[in-house]
Amino acid sequence: MDHLWAPWRKAYVIDGAREPGCVFCTKANEETDADNFILHRGKTCYVIMNIYPYNNGHVMVVPYSHVSEYDELQDEIALEITQLVRHYIRVLKRAMSPQGFNTGMNIGSVAGAGIAAHLHMHIVPRWNGDSNFMPVIGQTKVISEALIQTFEKLMQAEAEISQQAE
């Protein structure tokens, strides 16, 4: 029998562990970006890796404002979300060469939002063949790279893109 190891997921999948309060507000207010897998801080939003990713490189653009409804966003925040999605697609392309992307928001728990109280935009890189029998039959998603390795790749790509822009 083959074994898949993803021990960091146990607290979430099995124990249902969640930090008290809003995790997005908490992480935004801490000063340990690398420990929290925060990749970028903008004026109204930040980019953070999903620590329970659908695929390697799954990131989220999160407004600093604690708002749950898209139509309640200030224009400046909505614009920066769009700009950061575009920018992080470039970063992910450079770092991981995905063949496509899923982007989107789940607004409200009925729509699938795991954290419905704080709006966030997902960016999920996709590759041909990344969907297979494991999630359907085995109820298991295989993530082939440690979060810290992906974080380092994305930070490097971000630095390279920033240098080119100068």
141 vs 53: CA distance, rounded Å: 9
Asked if 58 is an active-site residue, the reply is no
93 vs 82: CA distance, rounded Å: 17
Q: What is the mean pLDDT of residues 69-74?
A: 96
Task: Indicate the average pLDDT of the chain.
Answer: 86
List the domain boundaries for the chain.
8-165
Q: What pLDDT was estimated at residue 15? A: 52
Q: Which whole-number Å values give the CA distances from 52 to 6, 55, 72, 143, 159, in the listed order?
A: 10, 9, 27, 9, 25
128 vs 97: CA distance, rounded Å: 11
Q: What pLDDT was estimated at residue 150? A: 96
Tokens 């139509």 sit on residue: 71
Residue 138 has pLDDT above 80, yes or no: no
Q: What is the mean pLDDT of residues 5-33?
A: 72
Q: What pLDDT was estimated at residue 132? A: 52
Q: What is the mean pLDDT of residues 6-11?
A: 51
Per-residue confidence band for 165, with pLDDT thresholds at 50, 70 and 90: confident
Kindly report the number of other CB atoms within 10 A of residue 132's CB atom.
Answer: 11
46-50, 131-135, 142-146: range with lowest mean pLDDT: 131-135
Q: What pLDDT was estimated at residue 145? A: 82
Question: Which CATH topology does 8-165 take?
Answer: HIT family, subunit A (3.30.428)
Residue of 58, 87, 118, 120 marked catalytic: 120
pTM attached to this predicted model: 0.84
Residue 38 has pLDDT above 60, yes or no: yes
